[in-house]
Structure 1
Amino acid sequence: MTSQKRIDAMVWLLSKVGKEQITSLMPEFVSLTGLTHKRLMDSWQAHLEGNPSFLSCCNAFVIQYCHGINLPDKYVNFDTSVIKSLLVADRKEHAWVASGEGMPDSGDICIWKGTHMGICTQAMKALDPNDYKEGQWYTIEGGQTNQVLVTPTPLKDGKKFPTIDRDKSFDSIKRKKYQNFPADSLQGWIDIDKYFYGSTGNPDFKPEAEARNRQWINRDGNVAHPGAPDGSGGLGYFRANGTLPEDPFNCSS
């Protein structure tokens, strides 16, 4: 049975990202990544001019996803050794699953080899059966870069470099589907069920149910409403035998 956490994850994801991609040219892109179109274009231009760093929205989107499901965003890292160390420190080491050990499920954070990450969305079968095909693997990923270059412009030292067309280039977030699960392309994933529910990944409601049931048993072992004087859920609620006076604070009444 699908856990509530996976349902919450899918509701958040699919309410934020519809069938059409969300590009950095759209206003909602900022709220889903924390990045502006200008910042991305500046980074891409600097990269073309020799800066080794290249900014995209794939990890920025996963950070916002973590906020949406109450998962610490400190785990959003391309270095899986860092992810595993943080999980061990938080006693959540069982939540990391190396590629080759099964397959991620809806809401799991997947880390590709290299510098890319995204979210598995296998719930597509229930949410959009017309788009679902058995055996395919579904995700929502940021970092779908689309660069459009214009004629090279000479630098002061005579060198030439391509220039980003800022009106036509964009980064984006969109749903993707793979014909097969690309196990060889992934380093692994964070299993959100194992993170939130323990090593088995199965929600255990028994302790909560037992705690609730204990409220209905008083110290003598009798069933009593928690709010009754004879109950065990705390102080009871008492009622005067008769009507209150017009002035309830009149001590003489």
Structure 2
Amino acid sequence: MRSGIDEAARFVKGASKAVVLTGAGMSTEAGIPDFRSKAGWWNQVDPMTLATPDAVELNYDQFHAFYADRVRRLEGIVPTPGHVILANWELAGRVALTATQNVDGLHQAAGSRNVKELHGSIAGFCCHLCRARADRTSFLCRENCSCGGPLRPEVVLFGESLPQLAWDSTVQAIEEADLVIVIGTSLQVYPVNSLPSLTDGHLILINAEPTGQESAFDVFIQGKAGASLRAIDDLL
């Protein structure tokens, strides 16, 4: 791990247009469960029954209970030191863009400005039918839209397309990047798992567990996001 930290720090120090790609492991240290670990969301519930458009239309009671719980759990959650380090790297001109699979808004709360939310945001709400914007209180109180449609968070559910503008911006940034840093993701979810292959720059993977794709990266650091980023930052 030490040699990986040293090499990663060298790559970050020389970067001027790095792209950061984060997954659930970026936010677990803030107290937000991930999805695929033993304690993750999808080992407690079946995502195909709760996180699909069909669930909104046919199983709204359980859909609402699941997402209302997730919304409430974010109360009092603050960015981790790792989020702050990435924001500081952006401020220093090393990171050009942060793309995230997370919907918690912690990158923005930490100060990162150029953030692309590839799976949407759980802080925004809309009507499932007409897509009119709604507020948090209306969703939590199970109000309907004026058109009669059910309200939902503005997250990407299984079977839905990713936000096109966020996706296109991320693809362009990665194609132009001199470094791509992938943090806290198992790289199992398509199409986000295809993004690292688009760069000609260096590749760093930071994850608590091996993903099976380590050979595609110049550096693999097995460890928690916060501790790994702090170790790299200490060398800059």
Q: What TM-score comes out, normalization by structure 1 length? A: 0.29
> Which has a greater percent of helix?
2
User: Radius of gyration: which is bigger?
Assistant: 1
Query: RCO greater where, 1 or 2, for CA within 8 Å and sep 6 or more?
Result: 2
